[in-house]
Homo-oligomer: A and B are copies of this chain.
Amino acid sequence: LMAKQLVKSKDKIPVIIGDYGPMWVYPTSTFDCIVADPKKGTKMYGLKSYIEYQLSTTNTNRTVNHRYKHFDWLYERLLVKFGLAIPIPSLPDKQVTGRFEEEFIKMRMERLQAWMSRMCRHPVVSESDVFQQFLNFRDEKEWKTGKRKAEKDETVGCMIFAAVEPEAPDFDMTEVEQKCEAVGKFTRAMDDGVKDLLNVGQEHWKRCTGPLPKEYQKIGKALQNLSQVFGTSGYQGETDLNSAITEAGKTYEVIATMVEEQPRKDLHFLMETNHEYKGFLSCFPDIISAQKGAIEKVKESDKLVATSKITQQDKTNMIKRVSTMSYALQAEMNHFHSNRIYDYNSVLRLYLEQQIQFYEAIAEKLKQALSRFPVM
């Protein structure tokens, strides 16, 4: 907490005061990174195989290849460097079996894409050397050099706060404590809410892809079966009715498929967004406990000054550093909230739009089926 370190000016992380309070400085232009084209590669004369993804960065037009384990390396570096100030969500799970299956590769790529886009949108992470170098190295040598440099970076863990420079007066300790409490309370409550929605969504997904379409299929079969029996009556003038019943039966089979496929079109995205936020939220306990640890140290500092274990100047420095930590937390929370509002608004709009289309499409199918029935 008391450590001083020389931080190069280009590595400084300013916090300014915006309309919503402390905020990171956002770069004037943003970029994204497209993860695509998963290719199977081999090494050790074909003994080992792996999947390599192509990463294209939109602002530099540079394209690099990375394996999952490189992403994992990047994640570790970002976690070590920023983890006490910025939530760095985990990568999609490492999976050992079935990792060459197409469905798995597609899903992993989609999640790596989401993860990279998150990182690209973060004003501090995206501007960091390690991140830039991951996306923009020119050749194997530059990658290796960058890797070694990143691993030797000393502005990691608590040290990151030495780089943070709030352009505003220090907070007093009461405000620091209150903000920390509020963030803890909010992130725990949101974590519960997100997990709740994930559980409900999971359950709904299972029903929509399992028993429900099976039931619609059965209804469809039962109707078709009945119309087939009716067709054997030998009674004249019921062909129109029977073909209408057959069509209605087929319609319910189509509805079964629609029901089964629908979650991929709406619930999927709602789940993925919540999954991402669950990842963010699981990072907060570490961030909160770093803040709380620092607050406790400041509280103990009077005793330490009295017993001459630290000087008055040390204590002043400690208070300043805790205030800086709080600036960082508040800047990060404002980043988090503005993203959250945007993300949940987008994904819920998408969900409702898709649900509307789904119910309207079913109604339309049923209308067609109804129109086949004779009017008696």
Number of identical protomers: 2
Encoded as 1 (CB less than 8 Å from any B CB) or 0, chain A from 351 to 376 comes to: 01101100110110011011001101
Residues of B contacting A271 in the complex (Cβ-Cβ under 8 angstroms) = none
Residues of B contacting A333 in the complex (Cβ-Cβ under 8 angstroms) = 235
A363 and B358 CA atoms in complex are apart in Å by 8
Residues of B contacting A173 in the complex (Cβ-Cβ under 8 angstroms) = none
A20 and B233 CA atoms in complex are apart in Å by 12
Encoded as 1 (CB less than 8 Å from any B CB) or 0, chain A from 204 to 224 comes to: 100100011001001100110
A374-B345 in contact (CB<8A): yes
Encoded as 1 (CB less than 8 Å from any B CB) or 0, chain A from 236 to 263 comes to: 1110010011001000000000000000
Closest approach, in angstroms, between the C-beta of A305 and any C-beta of chain B? 34
Closest approach, in angstroms, between the C-beta of A362 and any C-beta of chain B? 5
Question: Looking at the complex, which one of B222, B232, B337, B366 makes contact with A233 (CB distance below 8 Å)?
Answer: B337
Interface: A3 (CB within 8 A) = no
A189-B232 in contact (CB<8A): yes
B352-A359 in contact (CB<8A): no
Interface: A225 (CB within 8 A) = yes
A129 and B346 CA atoms in complex are apart in Å by 73
Residues of B contacting A102 in the complex (Cβ-Cβ under 8 angstroms) = none
Residues of B contacting A346 in the complex (Cβ-Cβ under 8 angstroms) = 376
A248-B360 in contact (CB<8A): no
Closest approach, in angstroms, between the C-beta of A161 and any C-beta of chain B? 23
Residues of B contacting A342 in the complex (Cβ-Cβ under 8 angstroms) = 376
Interface: A100 (CB within 8 A) = no
A345 and B222 CA atoms in complex are apart in Å by 16
A366-B370 in contact (CB<8A): no
Encoded as 1 (CB less than 8 Å from any B CB) or 0, chain A from 178 to 218 comes to: 00001001100110111011001101100100011001001
Interface: A26 (CB within 8 A) = no
Residues of B contacting A190 in the complex (Cβ-Cβ under 8 angstroms) = 226, 229-230
A147 and B183 CA atoms in complex are apart in Å by 84
Q: A185-B232, A238-B341, A366-B355 are in contact. Are A215 and B219 (CB under 8 A)?
A: no
A370-B349 in contact (CB<8A): yes
Binding site for B on A (CB under 8 A): 19-20, 182, 185-186, 189-190, 192-194, 196-197, 200-201, 203-204, 207, 211-212, 215, 218-219, 222-223, 225-226, 228-230, 232-238, 241, 244-245, 248, 333-334, 337-338, 340-342, 344-346, 348-349, 352-353, 355-356, 359-360, 362-363, 366-367, 369-370, 373-374, 376
Q: 3 closest pairs, A vs B, by CB?
A: A359-B363, A235-B337, A352-B370
- Known: A186-B232, A186-B234; 16 extra A-B contacts, CB below 8 A, are A190-B226, A193-B222, A193-B226, A197-B223, A201-B219, A203-B215, A204-B219, A207-B215, A230-B341, A352-B366, A356-B367, A356-B370, A359-B362, A359-B363, A360-B360, A363-B363
